[in-house]
């Protein structure tokens, strides 16, 4: 018998939180955004998508292959390193030495896969969402370590059953209240907590 999926409140209750608390935390961070932060967040994923489209134009790879590979490369990289790494992979077939071997191997697999989104394992919620955002899915929410901190959730808690999805749900609620896309809410609050778009 299949196990019933947890509601967002049930998942968050395991870590002493609820949907309204987490949504308010996200909204508070959004409330600190300057007009410049909001503009940068609204275009952040569009610019990432433009990069993938441009790389695709001048290579034999599809946008999905490049976006999936870029997402696979992303763990523990600054955005500028992520960009440099995908450019190197597309143009030269190699990635810089600072990329960990696991992400590098997964990126090589993704960029050569007929179905690049199939290269994400069950546990790869963040990287899969990141690739979906890059390819234009405005409803996917990339819950990385920064997005989790904004929500008041640790990396370890994020791995518990249902917690990632619950946090993503809260980002969607905060976005709806602010009248923006979930993807934009995540990007804007990420910029606020990081202090820059890079």
Task: Round the average pLDDT of the chain to a whole number and report it.
Answer: 95
* pLDDT-derived band at 2, boundaries 50, 70, 90: low
Interval 48-104: pLDDT, tens: 999 999 999 999 999 999 999 999 999 989 999 999 999 999 999 999 999 999 999
> CB within 8 A of 123, min separation 6: which ones?
159
The pTM is what?
A: 0.92
Q: Please tell me the distance from the alpha carbon of residue 3 to that of residue 1, in angstroms, as a whole number.
A: 6
Q: Where in the chain are the domains?
A: 8-194
């Amino acid at each position: 018998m299949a196990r019933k999926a947890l509601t967002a409140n049930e998942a968050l209750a395991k870590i002493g939180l609820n949907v309204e608390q987490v949504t308010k935390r996200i909204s508070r961070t959004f409330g600190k955004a300057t007009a410049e932060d909001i503009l940068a967040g609204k275009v952040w994923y569009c610019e990432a998508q433009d990069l993938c489209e441009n790389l695709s134009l001048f290579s034999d790879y599809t946008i999905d292959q490049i976006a999936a590979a870029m997402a696979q490369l992303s763990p523990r990289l600054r955005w500028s390193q992520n960009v440099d790494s995908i450019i190197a992979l597309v143009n030269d077939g190699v990635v810089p030495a600072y990329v960990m071997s696991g992400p590098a191997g997964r990126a090589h697999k993704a960029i050569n896969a007929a179905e690049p989104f199939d290269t994400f394992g069950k546990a790869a919620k963040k990287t899969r969402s990141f690739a979906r955002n890059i390819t234009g899915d405005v409803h996917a929410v990339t819950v990385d370590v920064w997005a989790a901190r904004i929500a008041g959730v640790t990396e370890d808690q994020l791995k518990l059953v249902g917690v990632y999805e619950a946090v993503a749900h809260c980002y969607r609620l905060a976005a709806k209240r602010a009248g923006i896309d979930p993807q934009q809410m995540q990007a804007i609050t990420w910029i606020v907590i990081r202090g820059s778009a890079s």
